[in-house]
Chains A and B, each alone.
Chain A
Amino acid sequence: MAKAKRSIPELYEAARGGERRALGRLLTLVERGGPDADAVSELAHADSDGAHIVGITGAPGAGKSTLVGQLVTDLVEAGAKPAVLAVDPSSPLTGGAILGDRIRMDDIAEHGPAPGTQRPSTFIRSMATRGHSGGLALAVPLAVRLFDACGYDPVIVETVGVGQVEVDVVGAADTAVVVMTPGMGDAVQANKAGLLEVADVFVINKADRPGANDVRRDLDLMLDLSHMTGQESEHGYRPPIVMASALKGEGNVEVWKTVEDHRAHLRATGQETIRRQNRIRTEVRARLAQAMSNAAEAAMDGEGAAQLHRAETAEISPNEATNELLRQLLRES
Chain B
Amino acid sequence: MTDQPQLRVVLAKLGLDGHDRGIKVVARILRDAGMEVIYLGLRQTTASIVAAAEQEDADAIGLSMHNAGHMTLAPAMVAAIDEAELDTPVIVGGIVPEQDIQPLLDAGVAAVLGPGASAEEVAQTIRDAVANAD
List A residues at the B interface (Cβ < 8 Å): 1-3, 20-21, 23-25, 27-28, 32, 90-91, 93-100, 102-103, 106, 109-110, 120, 123-126, 128, 130-132
CA of A321 to CA of B34, assembled, Å? 37
CA of A132 to CA of B40, assembled, Å? 26
Question: Does the CB pair A95–B34 fall under 8 Å?
Answer: yes
CA of A23 to CA of B39, assembled, Å? 20
Check A95/B6 contact, CB under 8 A, given A25-B57, A102-B38: yes
Task: Tell me the B42-83 residues at the A interface (CB within 8 Å).
Answer: 45, 47-48, 51-52, 54-57
Count of B residues near A, CB < 8 Å? 33
- Tell me, rounded to whole Å, the shortest Cβ–Cβ distance linking B106 to chain A: 18
Question: Does the CB pair A103–B39 fall under 8 Å?
Answer: yes
Contacts of B39 in A (CB 8 A): 98-100, 102-103
Check A28/B38 contact, CB under 8 A, given A109-B51, A110-B47, A130-B6: no
- Tell me, rounded to whole Å, the shortest Cβ–Cβ distance linking A11 to chain B: 11
Question: Can you list 27 A-B contacts with CB-CB less than 8 angstroms, sorted by A residue number?
Answer: A1-B133, A20-B54, A21-B84, A21-B86, A24-B57, A25-B57, A28-B57, A90-B36, A94-B33, A95-B6, A97-B31, A99-B39, A100-B39, A102-B38, A102-B52, A102-B56, A103-B39, A103-B40, A103-B41, A110-B48, A125-B55, A125-B56, A126-B36, A128-B6, A130-B1, A130-B6, A132-B1
Question: Does the CB pair B134–A1 fall under 8 Å?
Answer: yes
Question: Does the CB pair B55–A123 fall under 8 Å?
Answer: yes
Check A120/B51 contact, CB under 8 A, given A1-B87, A96-B30: yes
Question: Does the CB pair B57–A110 fall under 8 Å?
Answer: no
Question: Does the CB pair A99–B30 fall under 8 Å?
Answer: no
Within 8 Å of chain A (Cβ to Cβ): is B85?
A: yes
The 5 closest A-B pairs by CB, nearest first: A96-B31, A24-B57, A28-B57, A110-B48, A103-B41
- Tell me, rounded to whole Å, the shortest Cβ–Cβ distance linking B129 to chain A: 14
Say what secondary structure dominates the interface of chain B.
mixed
Contacts of A90 in B (CB 8 A): 36
Picked from B35, B57, B87, the residue with its CB within 8 Å of the CB of A3 is: B87
CA of A211 to CA of B56, assembled, Å? 38
Contacts of A102 in B (CB 8 A): 38-40, 52, 56
Nearest neighbor of A127 in chain B, beta-carbon distance: B36
Check A98/B54 contact, CB under 8 A, given A2-B133, A110-B47: no
Contacts of B85 in A (CB 8 A): 3, 21
Question: Does the CB pair A2–B87 fall under 8 Å?
Answer: yes
